[in-house]
Structure formats: C-alpha cells, structure tokens
C-alpha cells in the first residue's frame, strides 16, 4: 500500500496544528504501511516537525503554494498552477491513496478525480462552519462528491457532509496518552497556537490581566507565531503587565511548552479538533476554552479535565481558580477515545477499505 499526504508546505514558516497532525499520523502509520510519502507544494528549507526516516518526502517548489497568496477571483489561478505542478506526481502515483490536509487541496484532488481514477481521502482540518453556502458551496459539494471519502474530525462535521450527500467517516486527531513526565511547578498559564484573528490571542492577554487570581500567582506564556505578532507585542506592552507575559515564537518542543503549566487557555472563534487541548490534557494540564462551535466541546469535560468558558472576565476568574481542584488528578482517561492507538486503528481500517 502506498499513501501520499499532500500539504501546502512542510516548511517551518507554516508550523501549526495541521502539519503536526501529519507528522504524528505518519509516525503512527509507518509500522503498518511500508510506503508513506509526504508531498509539499511549496519549497521547504527546514521541516516544521520531524518526519520518521521511513517517510519519503518531496517538494514541488511552488512559489505561491496556497490560495492566500491571491485575492478574490484570482484564487482560481492557484488551482490552475497547482494542478499543473502536481500533475506529474499524480500520473506517476495513480495507484496510491492520496490524503489531503486543507479545503483547497481537497478540491484540487477532487478536480483530478474528474480525469484520473485516483483514490482520495479528504481531510480539511477545519470546521465545516467555514462553508460558504450558496452557489459556491454547491460547486464545492459537487467536487467533494468525487472524493472517495471525507474524514471528519468531529461528529458535527460528519453530519454536515452526510446531510449534503458526501461520503464521510468520523476520525478525530490522536494523541499519545503515555504520560510524558515533565517538571511541573504549576507556575504558568499558557496559550499555544497561531497568532491569528481566529485564535484571538489578544483576548488571552485581556483575560489574564483582568484576573486577579491569574496575575497574582502565574506568568502568561504565549507560544506561537503569525500575522498578529507585532500587534500582540504592542497589546502586551500597553497592558500594564508586560513583566508577567512572555511571547515565545521559536519553541516547538512540547516538553518545554507544557513544562510548569498550571492551565492552558484557548480563545478560538472556531476550531476543528484542537491538538493543543489533547496534548495538554494528556499531560494532566487542565484546559479552559471558549465554547465555540465544535472542537473544544468534544474534548473538554467540565470540572473533569477543564472548563468551557464564555469569554467574560468573571467567568474566566471563577474557572481558572477552579482548576486548582483538578491539578492533582489523573484525567487522561477522559480523552481515551482520542488515543493514538484507537485513531491509528480507524485510519488503517479506512485505508484498507478505500
């Protein structure tokens, strides 16, 4: 069996949850599949995350490897360029099972399906709430129906696909539940994610500085990178508590990120299946996340492994203090359905059936 994971770019500049999932999923599958490949459309100077030595990697060196390089209707040009760049790889690997990692890549391979008899598993790694509706969504659904099957990261996403007559199966992201012991003095509140509007990193700062419990006992450490970095730095400097807040853009080692964490805070407007929540809970670090549609509510069990919050200061103050009751408990079993073993079994079942 040959499996090819297609990504926009595996370069460190695109470091984030999607590439981490690809890294960890290929790692889990190498003991079951003898030919696993990762193809990056964009040039890669240094890997965003490690890949197993058994995984074959190649880059197509596209300068504009994702649709965000274009605006408006010009995004169509990306599909034309990407189709031409990928065509040789598709022809030479027509027997492989292709796995996508974003909505544009799923549509791209869906277009290939009109001409070539490919096996394609779509995995968009984004909530279906981003569906545009109207004529655009009808065209998208038409293309998605060409995909062999869509992997939904949440039951709600699976229901959306099925309601639109698109074949789908629910397989969440996985996490290693063999606890990695790190020193934990419980002295930091952490944020881990892209500095992007959808993640609302500035709101994390506001919650922290407006919480007497948090700012009198902890530091806030914010791990990530992205377009809001300068704005975030300015916001921290004007908060009056910059001496308690660290912005860290170059750290990917989870043993360092989660070291000494009292709790993890997530303020996303919308999520898919957030890996950082699974990682933190797997290390018995309670999580607080805004109750956005999908994602956090599938993982967090109130007063067991964390709390869902509404984003208001008083609610955050109450629940961050309540995390003290959780820090001496082992709540990894609360996410047992997301264990790597279970997720790998489900992926192998799917790959053998496609």
Q: What is the CATH number of the domain that holds 276?
A: 3.40.50.2000
In this predicted structure, which of 130-134, 182-186, 307-311, 342-346 has the lowest mean pLDDT?
130-134
Judged against a pLDDT cut of 70, whether residue 67 lies above it is answered with yes
pLDDT confidence of residue 19: 96
Q: Are residues 124 and 202 in the same domain?
A: no
Structural domain count, the chain: 2
Give the bridge partners for 121, in sequence order: 99, 149
In a domain, 182, yes or no: no
In a domain, 180, yes or no: no
**How far is the C-alpha of 5 from the C-alpha of 353, rounded, in Å?**
17
In a domain, 183, yes or no: no
Q: Are residues 11 and 101 in the same domain?
A: yes
Range of the domain at 256: 188-336
Which of 106, 92, 94 is CA-nearest to residue 147? 106
Q: Are residues 211 and 262 in the same domain?
A: yes
**How far is the C-alpha of 39 from the C-alpha of 233, rounded, in Å?**
35
Q: Is residue 182 very low, low, confident or very high in pLDDT (cuts 50, 70, 90)? A: low
Give ∠ CA 211-213-215 in degrees, rounded to 5: 65
Judged against a pLDDT cut of 80, whether residue 213 lies above it is answered with yes
In a domain, 249, yes or no: yes
pLDDT confidence of residue 34: 94
Q: Are residues 79 and 200 in the same domain?
A: no
Tokens in use for 312? 């208001």
Q: Are residues 211 and 316 in the same domain?
A: yes
Which of 191, 161, 197, 345 is CA-nearest to residue 262? 191
Q: In this prediction, what percent of the chain has a pLDDT beyond 90?
A: 86
199-224 burial: b if 16+ Cβ within 10 Å, else e: bbbbbbbbbbbbbebbbeebbbbbbb
Q: Are residues 345 and 273 in the same domain?
A: no
In a domain, 89, yes or no: yes
The pLDDT tens digits for 301-338 are 999 999 999 999 999 999 999 999 998 888 989 999 99
In a domain, 179, yes or no: no
Q: Are residues 113 and 52 in the same domain?
A: yes
Judged against a pLDDT cut of 90, whether residue 184 lies above it is answered with no
Packing angle, helices 201-209 and 229-237, rounded to 10: 10
pLDDT confidence of residue 135: 75
pLDDT confidence of residue 230: 97
pLDDT confidence of residue 179: 65
Judged against a pLDDT cut of 90, whether residue 134 lies above it is answered with no
Q: Are residues 255 and 344 in the same domain?
A: no
In a domain, 106, yes or no: yes
Q: Are residues 226 and 324 in the same domain?
A: yes
**How far is the C-alpha of 188 from the C-alpha of 307, rounded, in Å?**
17
pLDDT confidence of residue 73: 87
Q: Are residues 26 and 120 in the same domain?
A: yes
How far is Cα of residue 272 from the mean position of the Cα atoms in its chain?
7
Q: Are residues 317 and 345 in the same domain?
A: no
pTM for the full model? 0.90
The pLDDT tens digits for 4-33 are 999 999 999 999 889 999 999 999 999 999
Q: Are residues 41 and 154 in the same domain?
A: yes
pLDDT confidence of residue 80: 96
Average pLDDT of every residue of the chain: 94
The pLDDT tens digits for 262-291 are 999 999 998 888 999 999 999 999 999 999
Phi and psi angles of residue 309, each rounded to the nearest 5 degrees, phi first: -125, 160
The residue-averaged pLDDT of 27-55 equals 97
In a domain, 92, yes or no: yes
Judged against a pLDDT cut of 90, whether residue 131 lies above it is answered with no
């Amino acid at each position: 069996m040959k499996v090819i994971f297609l990504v926009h770019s595996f370069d460190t500049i695109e470091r984030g949850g999607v590439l981490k999932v690809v890294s960890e999923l290929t790692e889990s599958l190498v003991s079951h599949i003898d030919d696993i490949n990762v193809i990056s459309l964009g040039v890669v100077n240094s890997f965003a995350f490690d890949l197993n030595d058994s995984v074959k990697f190649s880059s197509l060196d596209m300068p504009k490897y994702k649709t965000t390089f274009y605006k408006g209707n010009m995004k169509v040009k990306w599909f034309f360029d990407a189709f031409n760049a990928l065509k040789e790889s598709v022809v030479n690997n027509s027997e492989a099972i292709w796995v996508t990692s974003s909505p544009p890549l799923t549509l791209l391979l869906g277009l290939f399906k009109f001409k070539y008899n490919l096996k394609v598993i779509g995995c968009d790694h984004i909530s279906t709430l981003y569906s545009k509706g109207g004529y655009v969504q009808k065209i998208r659904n038409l293309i998605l129906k060409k995909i062999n099957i869509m992997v939904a990261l949440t039951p709600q996403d699976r229901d959306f696909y099925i309601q639109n007559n698109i074949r789908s199966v629910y397989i969440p992201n996985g996490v290693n539940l063999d606890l990695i012991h790190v020193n934990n003095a419980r002295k930091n509140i952490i944020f881990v994610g892209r500095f992007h509007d959808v993640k609302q990193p500035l709101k994390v700062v506001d919650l922290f500085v407006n919480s007497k419990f948090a700012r009198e006992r902890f530091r806030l450490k914010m791990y990530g990178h992205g377009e809001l970095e300068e704005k975030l730095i300015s916001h921290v400097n004007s908060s009056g508590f910059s001496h308690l807040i660290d912005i860290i853009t170059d750290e990917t080692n989870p043993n360092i990120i989660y070291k000494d964490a009292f709790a993890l805070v997530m303020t996303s407007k919308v999520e898919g299946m957030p890996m950082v929540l699974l990682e933190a809970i797997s290390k018995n670090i309670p999580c607080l996340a805004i109750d956005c549609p999908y994602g956090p509510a599938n993982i967090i069990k109130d007063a067991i492994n964390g709390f869902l919050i509404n984003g208001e200061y008083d609610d955050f103050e109450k629940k961050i203090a309540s995390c003290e009751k959780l820090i001496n408990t082992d709540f990894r079993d609360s996410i047992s359905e997301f264990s790597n073993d279970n997720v790998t079994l489900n992926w192998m079942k799917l790959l053998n059936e496609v």
